[in-house]
Amino acid sequence: MMYSPKVMQHFSNPQNVGEIPDADGVGEVGNPVCGDLMTIYIKVKDNKLSDIKFKTFGCAAAIATSSIITTMAKGMTLEDAVKISRNDVAKELGGLPPQKMHCSNLAADALKLAIENYRRKLQGLPPRTGVTEGEEEHAEDGASCPPEEHK
């Protein structure tokens, strides 16, 4: 499986890794089929993402998509950041193999969930948790992460 140079760059030297202990919003997603787990933490100031960090357990594509989505979203308004799609993430990385597109989907979902949880917090509502990509959906797109790719 061939990855673009940009995927390899973000896998080898991921940007914005870590946690934000006092995050305004947190989005955690996973895929039970391949085992990828992503958590994105956001800080919001004046309706913009002033800081964003991630922690990911997964394959090279999962780590690279987490890294690139944080660099794409940092400084954006919440309205613009929530519009980042799986295709936007893959395009920014110079493409992903078809069987790895689900990784960009998880990164986009984690960001959307972090923003949703920030908005829920403002309304005094509890955060949404336990969001996972369904096995049926995962199987339909032909995506799979061989277990040996996970570190």
Domain boundaries, the chain: 5-134
Q: Is the pLDDT of residue 124 over 50?
A: yes
End-to-end Cα separation, the chain, in angstroms: 17
Task: Name the CATH topology of 5-134.
Answer: Sufe protein. Chain: A (3.90.1010)
pLDDT tier at 132, thresholds 50, 70, 90: low
pTM over 0.75: yes
Q: Count other Cβ atoms within 10 Å, centred on residue 134.
A: 11
What is the rounded CA–CA span in Å between residue 34 and residue 128? Answer: 22
For the record, the structure tokens of 140 come out as 């339909």
Return the active site residues: 34, 103
For the record, the structure tokens of 89 come out as 């993430």
pLDDT tens-digit map of 9-48: 999 999 999 999 999 999 999 877 778 899 999 999 999 9
What is the rounded CA–CA span in Å between residue 74 and residue 44? Answer: 10
